[in-house]
A and B are shown apart, each in its own frame.
Chain A
Amino acid sequence: MSTVKEQLIEKLIEDDKDSQCKITIVGTGAVGMACAISILLKDLADELALVDVALDKLKGEMMDLQHGSLFFSTSKITSGKDYSVSANSRIVIVTAGARQQEGETRLALVQRNVAIMKSIIPAIVHYSPDCKILVVSNPVDILTYIVWKISGLPVTRVIGSGCNLDSARFRYLIGEKLGVHPTSCHGWIIGEHGDSSVPLWSGVNVAGVALKTLDPKLGTDSDKEHWKNIHKQVIQSAYEIIKLKGYTSWAIGLSVMDLVGSILKNLRRVHPVSTMVKGLYGIKEELFLSIPCVLGRNGVSDVVKINLNSEEEALFKKSAETLWNIQKDLIF
């Protein structure tokens, strides 16, 4: 006797099992899941795979998302501890790693996360040799370098989420001060995603009007309006949120969604993300730092060579030095 399905539905051709736009997220902690829900809400992928070692949580989170599939357009959500589940991904987002503890600097996390990357990256590349890897785990700049080295992929396909979030926070805070939406406030933070990030005050503008032309002291210590505090707040925000709720998740999830959108749809938007900066601004070492990059379907296709003034360049080099001091002693 035929089933209800057989009576109702007549198959014409075999299903094409290969997804066109698959994204894998490694790590189903708060950050990984925030990335997942942001990506699902924006309908960016036709398949989402989750990978983690905590099997119960992994399965629970996958099922919970699957049950919500009525509300979005990602028809296939899978999970597994084995990386075969990630095969054929366009982008692999790496959020796995030890969580930054309260008061712990990003740099203190490093060696803990190196071992984790060594266990993850070769499998990712094996199953998706053409993918772009987006590294989110902290300290993101050093880890992106490590992931690049381990992966053997071209440097343009290994991208650190870097200062995309710092710049978003910067623009939010500028917007708050001016009563304008963040998308209409333009400002860039480059360098380390962390304590030594570099705010480019000369570029901060609204409708093309550089704020520095209205107040030449902008961002300096003698600035009566203390705009410099905005940058301090950006650096402090992660620490503050971690102190209040234990971790940060939503903003980084949205930031990652922003980057994924540019890559998958080949938008060629410019984002401050972490990429190889050897040879730029007098930097001689193999370091990853955030600079404005053009993101498209092949990853970082171009970089924007902004003119840094002497102070900004000095800060950028200092950022590089801070990272190199840790990176040079890394064992991996």
Chain B
Amino acid sequence: IATLKEKLIVPVAEEEATVQNNKITVVSVGQVGMAYAISILGKSLTDEFAFVDVLEDKLKGEMMDPQHGSLFLQTLKIVADKDYSVTASYKIVVVTAGVLQQEGERRLNLLQKKWDILTYVTWKISGLLKHHVIGSGCNPDSARFHCLMAEKFGIHPSSCHGRILGEHSDSSVAVWIGMNVTGFSLQELNPEIGTDNDSENWKEVHKMVVESAYEVIKLNGYTHWVIGLSVAGLIESMLKNLSRIHLVSSMVKGMYGIENEVFLSLPYILNARGLTSVINQKLKDDEVAQFKKSTDTPWDIQKDLKDL
């Protein structure tokens, strides 16, 4: 006897073995992983989304919840498993696993949350090409910087331009000459910008980028929305082959006289091939020095890592 489905629906095309896909995985369903997941689902970027985690109950719950919202989404297949086989043939895997930073713990003390080093470790372990392993790096720092610039000017963050390079957060480098609104470099208007002589104290704005994340952690226990949204933006550039420029973390050995295999943030072009090109910066001598210096700390830790 035919089932109701068989009575209702008649197939007219053969089942295809494989179909072009845009599948994305997130590893770990913590606050950051879920913020990223909802940003991806909300922007309809993928046709299949997989969650992977070791906590099986939470994993299942976090899979079922968005599944129940499928009416409002355009991602038909949402799956989860603690076994990585669920992610077979996935285009992009986002790793958010790691121990949450505790209040007061400066990022340097917490290896597992040290994104640039983690990106290096991921690259080494995976054996993937270096342009296929990308650290979210200074992407959230830059987003925060845009937001703080915007507040100071009273305009939307997307109309403010500013780049933060180097190590994610504590010793990141603000490139003052590049800060601009409609192409107008702020440094031309205020040559002291970012220095200690700056009467407007823009250096404080850069400091705020670093401090604000700590403040949110102190108030709320964690940050998640900024990272989630900013990573979704990176994924969008890759999936839609946009070739947009993002401040993400990649291997910088050979650039600016750097000799060690460290991952730091520079403006890179992201598209369907991954991270394909870097934008040549005209950095001032002290900015180059700062940039090189920010390789010291990660390398100090990386060189002692075993089992890579």
Chain A 137-174 interface 0/1 with B at a Cβ cutoff of 8 Å (1 = within): 00000000000000000000000000001001101100
Q: Is the CB of B5 within 8 A of A250?
A: no
Assuming A68-B229, A179-B9, is B184 touching A56 (CB within 8 A)? no
One of A126-134, A191-199, A210-218, A294-302 contacting the partner: A210-218
- Which chain B residues border A241 with CB–CB below 8 Å? 61, 64-65, 68
Q: How large is the interface on B (under 10, 10 to 19, 20 to 34, 35 or more residues)?
A: 35 or more
Task: Please measure, in the bound complex, the distance between the C-alpha atom of A114 and the C-alpha atom of B18, giving whole angstroms.
Answer: 54
Cross-chain contact B199 with A1 (CB below 8 angstroms): yes
**B65 CB to nearest chain A CB (Å):** 4
Cβ of B154 under 8 Å from chain A: yes
Report A235-257 residues with CB < 8 Å from chain B CB: 237, 240-246, 248-251, 253-255, 257
- Bound Cα distance from A7 to B180, whole angstroms: 13
Whether A63 contacts B9 in the complex (CB less than 8 A), given A37-B38, A68-B226, A241-B61, comes out as no
Whose C-beta in chain B lies nearest to the C-beta of A249? Answer: B65
Q: Is the CB of B224 within 8 A of A64?
A: yes
B7 at the interface (CB under 8 A from A): yes
A-B contact count (CB 8 A): 190
Could you say which of A34, A64, A169 contacts B38, with CB atoms under 8 Å apart? A34
Please determine whether B212 and A67 come into contact, CB atoms closer than 8 angstroms. yes
- Report whether over half of chain B's contact residues are helix, strand or loop; otherwise say mixed: helix
Identify the A interface with B (CB < 8 A). 1, 3-5, 7-9, 15, 34, 37-38, 41-42, 56-57, 59-61, 63-72, 75, 165, 168-169, 171-172, 175, 177-183, 206, 209, 211, 214-215, 218, 225, 227, 237, 240-246, 248-251, 253-255, 257-258
Q: A-contacting residues of B (Cβ < 8 Å)?
A: 3-5, 7-9, 34-35, 38-39, 42-43, 57-58, 60-62, 64-73, 76, 140, 143-144, 146-147, 150, 152-158, 181, 184, 186, 189-190, 193, 199-200, 202, 212, 215-221, 223-226, 228-230, 232-233
Those 4 A-B pairs whose CB atoms lie nearest each other, nearest first: A60-B220, A245-B61, A244-B61, A60-B219
Pairs A–B under 8 Å by Cβ, sample size 10: A8-B181, A9-B155, A9-B181, A57-B221, A60-B219, A63-B212, A64-B216, A69-B150, A245-B60, A246-B58
